[in-house]
Structure 1
Amino acid sequence: MTLEHLRYSPELIADILHSTKTIALVGASANTERDSNEVMQYLQQKGYRVIPVNPGLAGKKLLGETVYAKLADIPEKIDMVDVFRNSEAAGPICDEAVAIGAKYVWMQLGVTNEAGAARAEKAGIKVVMNRCPKIEIPRLVRQG
């Protein structure tokens, strides 16, 4: 992994968080003990529309939103794909993000995939790896 992908300017992170309205959260969990569930709730409280993606929960409701099996099933435009899967799975998710025309791919803490990030960036998507929006929002986004 290159260090270049782990150094993000505060301006870049803030710009992504400010311009994002709709987030697809891949790896969403109904288990309230899971980080993905906690982060989804947090993002909703901050005013983002968060659409959960989990093939095992597809068709069910999670935190008021319908769960989809894959990104391509979501019937609306997605700004950010938030990846709560392992690093290996993040590569194909980057490809799915390109296919649906997402603006951003955000890989959670501990998740990195250089090859997937490179493919997404080549397609014009901004990629953030090994970061959590729940940590970045209070640090970089002006509230209210």
Structure 2
Amino acid sequence: MNDSTNTTESCAVPWATQNVATAGAFERLRLLQTYKTIAMVGLSADPMRPSHFAAIYMQSEGYDIIPVNPRLAGQEILGQPVYASLLEIPKDRNVEIVDVFRRSEDVPAVLDEAIAIDAPVFWMQLGIVNEDAAARARAAGMDVVMNRCVKIEHARFFGGLNLVGMNTGVITARRTIG
């Protein structure tokens, strides 16, 4: 749909549902500027997994990363204790963004926990789409981002994105001034 009144965006990946309703670019920028504590549900300890790479990047950019993975509960990832669920995170950690690295069918259970802890933002990673959960999250007063990578969005807005996905200084979209 190319209607100028359309509030949806096309998906970032071809295999996901088209025309997914999600927060627009300015809204995603605002969320990343406003909130600095991210609970990453499904965060892997394997440095080759996308969730781990995204966590390293966001942590290096000053975000407080809280790992959530029931199989790794009690261990540490990136120097942070791993929790089995969002409900186990101490309230003083003040979860602001719940970033979901789980399958679409697992999203409703994660959303239930996100609502229970009063997280203001529910973020579903690239390739994760669940319209029913998104509608429930919005009804609960949450901002919703769907089918977007938090790392890619941050890098896009704050100048760390280029052909290989991070600012290596070799290939960059930045323009030199002068």
Query: Would you say same fold, with TM above 0.5?
Result: yes
Count residues in correspondence: 142
Residue 69 (structure 1) aligned with residue 54 (structure 2): no
Secondary structure in 2 matching 1:82? strand
Equivalent residues in 2 for 1:1-144 (5 A)? 3=19, 5-6=21-22, 8-75=23-90, 76-141=93-158
Q: Distance in 2 between matches of 1:35 and 1:4?
A: 22
- Bigger radius of gyration among the two: 2
One-letter code of the match for 2:125?
Q
In structure 2, give the amino acid aligned to 1:31.
D
> Gaps (5+ residues) in structure 2?
1-16, 161-178
Higher relative contact order (CA 8 A, sep 6+): 1
> Structure 1: any 5+ residue segments left out of the alignment?
none
* Cα deviation code 1:58-88 (max 9, x no counterpart): 0111100000000000002100000000011
- Structure 1's consecutive aligned runs of 4 or more residues displaced over 4 angstroms after TM superposition are none
| Alignment-mate amino acid for residue 123 of structure 1 | A
Task: Write the deviation string for residues 22-62 of structure 1: whole angstroms up to 9, x where unpaired.
Answer: 00000011111100111010000010000000001001111
Instruction: Say whether the 8 Å CA contact 2:73–2:83 is kept in structure 1.
Output: yes
Indicate the SS of the match to 2:21: helix
Q: CA RMSD in A?
A: 1.6
Determine the C-alpha separation between the residues in 2 that align with 1:138 and 1:4: 22
The Cα of 1:4 is off from its aligned counterpart by 5.0
Displacement after TM superposition at 1:138 (Å): 2.0
Percentage of pairs with the same residue: 47
**Residues 20 and 146 in structure 2, CA contact (< 8 A), matched pair in contact too:** no
